[in-house]
Amino acid sequence: MDALNLDNPELFINRELSLLEFNRRVIAQALDETTPLLERLKFLCISSTNLDEFFEIRVAGIKQQVKYGSGQKGPDNLSPAEVMEQISQIAHELVEEQYRILNETITPELAKEKIRVLRRASWRPSVSRWVKRYFNNNVLPVLSPIGLDPAHPFPRVLNKNLYFIVSLDGKDAFGRESDLAIVQAPRSLPRVVKVPEEHTAGKNDFILLSSIIHAHVSDLFPGMKATGCYQFKVTRDSDLFVDNEEVEDLLRALEGELPSRRFSDAVRLEVADNCPDELSTFLLRKFNLNEFDLYQVNGPVNLSRLMAIVDLASRPDLVYPGFTSDIPPRVLKSSNIFDSLKNGDILFHHPFQSFAPIVDFVRQAAHDPNVLSIKQTLYRTGIDSAIVESLKDAARIGKEVTVVIELRARFDEEANIEMATELQEAGAQVVYGIVGYKTHCKMCMVVRREGRGLRRYVHLGTGNYHSRTVRMYTDYGLLTCDKEFGLDVSKLFLQLTGLGRAGKLRKLLQSPFTLFKRLLELIEIEAVNAKKGKDARIILKMNALVDPDMIKALYQASQAGVKIDLIIRGMCCLRPGIKGVSENIHVRSIVGRFLEHTRVFYFYHGGEELIYCSSADWMPRNMHVRVETAFPIEEKRPRDLIYTLGLQNYLSDNTKAWIMNSDGMYKLAKPTGTKQRSAQDTALSHFCDN
């Protein structure tokens, strides 16, 4: 390998294959005996959901490239066809591993805890009678089986919905031979059904909807006999396309595109592994797929739906123990959040610290008579958002409320369209960001009359204003009334709404303008210092490292002698530990109870020690085609907290950390002569046990 040529394809890992390796690490959590059993089931379900999205977006895009003969290669020099071949091989391995773990490990261990998913062969007579009643009363009335013939063509199959292909014997009501039918499982019915205790031997016995339909599928075809019934599920291309040159109203354009997601091109077919080859081939032909797109599974094709068992089982001893998020003392001392901020910035490390003060920040602003305006970006908020309700209240009261909503937050488009409509009806000004540039930055600004002037209060974050994910994702948020922060955020909002130039920002870095350039400069400064024999250090924590220019800059810094630690949760296209190139770079991934979502950039900077938190990962899209921010942490106490608990703490994790080798593979870190240390548990103890 030519170590001096930093464009050498061998120095780059394919991003899609790296993402699959992340999912392998998620699947591995289902085998971790130190994790509560129902949480292990949850990890297995999450891995299934991850694969669904991977096929819907990433595989769909690559298939389009292959279809149209694109030979464009990435930094790794793999063509779309070559990537697709490797994806198929690895994804099949992962799916096989998912079901092996489910059948050989999770299901038997759940049974030991008297949590059972009852197979049809094990139903006792009382259960069978109850299932028949349930089928007749709850399932049969909403089923619409489609017998296939020239008048009943193959139906349009919804994305990721559960279906059955049924082979039949006998004549239909009109005396004709019928041999095949399609049955759609109703989306309105639960996929996991708890059996009443009086009909079974346990308190936590469950039956899958697929088993209920399978047991009584012949009832759907009177006079005929179902000779076979096999589950299948189709995953479709779910990326929405909007022509930036032609669209006049982004909201209306997206509304028009959303229905197509359910019936777009198929990219994967999952079938029960007992489905005969001729029926699998028949389905592949109907969906224009080939044999490499077929996934035969030994269990429910909608594996992620088993997540319902976690809640239905009501076994708190088999899930992570609850915790009460910490609230910073300065917030507790004052009922007025604005008074609290006059004594300095307040940093929040979620979920270890509560998100409630951020919600209260917006709520107080909405009802404070001295507040004149509220401006906020929203990317994902979830349903029944308290923040959105406060924004609506503020608008109804007569305050100036401006909301920048990114409608194209993938899989949240429909919810965001509804939210935009509600805010507009309440009197808020709503804009949809910049066409061609996703607005991904997380910021809120409150303008308040104080004395003879106005003061700006600002929240900046690394994660979304989402009440549910904030309990599951690690993120940083900063509340401040610093004048320069306020001026910068004010300029950004004027840019997002008025489309004028933001001008020079005092503290914030912004993509697609200054963030990329400044980060490269900071890396170069470390390299220059290292060459001079000075201390040089970089620590980066993010979800993904993909951008080839950033990777080459890190390689050059490593060659100069800079010590570099990377904490990358998901995709990492950099290869560490290559002699002469990256031997000074170490990469680790933390997979644990919480989804690691913080983005933190640390540069030793000649002893000045710069720390930025950001909404941006180091991917080309974040640097060049999104509106992102990175904000400095300047006050000593929050800086020290991020460095110790947010960075060093994660670098010392030896139980949930996966260490990356130069071949792109990961190995789980193991304690060697030291006590076990989990970064997330340490943070929980620090904030929540005080």
Residue with tokens 């960001």: 433
Q: Which two tokens stand for residue 357?
A: 């003060």
Residue 433 region by backbone torsions, left for phi larger than 0, else alpha for psi between -120 and 50, else beta: left
Strands, E, within 604-644: which ranges? Answer: 610-614, 626-632
> CB 609: neighbour CB atoms within 10 A?
13
CB atoms under 10 Å from CB of 198, counted, come to: 7
Say if residues 652 and 638 touch (Cβ distance below 8 Å): no
The three-state secondary structure class of 100 is helix
Cα–Cα distance measured from residue 645 to residue 550, given in angstroms and rounded to the nearest whole number: 26
Alpha-carbon torsion angle 3, 6, 9, 12, nearest 10: 100
Separation CA 520–CA 522 (nearest Å)? 5
Q: HSE on the CB side for 177, CA within 13 Å?
A: 1
Q: Cα(642)–Cα(613) distance, rounded to whole angstroms?
A: 9
| Catalytic member of 199, 216, 349, 440 | 440
Burial 216-239 (b: 16+ CB within 10 A, else e): bbbbbbeebebebbbbbbbbbbbe
Nearest Cα neighbor of 154 from 214, 63, 232 is 232
Query: What's the N-to-C CA distance of the chain in angstroms?
Result: 53
Q: Quote the CA–CA distance of 130 and 137 in Å, as a whole number.
A: 11
Residue 90's Cβ-count burial label (10 Å; 0-12, 13-18, 19+) is middle
Q: How far apart are CA 39 and CA 566, in angstroms?
A: 27
Q: How far apart are CA 383 and CA 423, in angstroms?
A: 14
CA 401 – CA 446 distance, rounded (Å): 10
Q: Which two tokens stand for residue 249?
A: 């109203």
CA 124, distance to chain mean position in Å, is 41
Residue type, 490: S
Q: Do the Cβ atoms of 83 and 17 come closer than 8 Å?
A: yes
Backbone angles phi, psi at 131, to 5 degrees: -60, -40
CB atoms within 10 A of CB 677: 16
Take residue 64 and report the two structure tokens written for it: 């389009």
Q: Is the omega angle on the peptide bond into residue 351 within 30 degrees of 0, that is, cis?
A: yes
Quickly count: other Cβ atoms within 10 Å of residue 593's Cβ: 18
User: Active site includes 214?
Assistant: no
The residue type of 217 is: V
Bridge partners (DSSP) listed for residue 587: 566
What is the DSSP-derived secondary structure letter of residue 153? P
The C-alpha atoms of residue 577 and residue 10 are separated, in whole angstroms, by: 13
Helical pair 413-426 and 250-261, crossing angle rounded to 10 deg: 150
Q: Quote the tokens at residue 535.
A: 């201390």
Cβ proximity of 603 and 36 under 8 Å: no
Could you list the active site residues?
A: 440
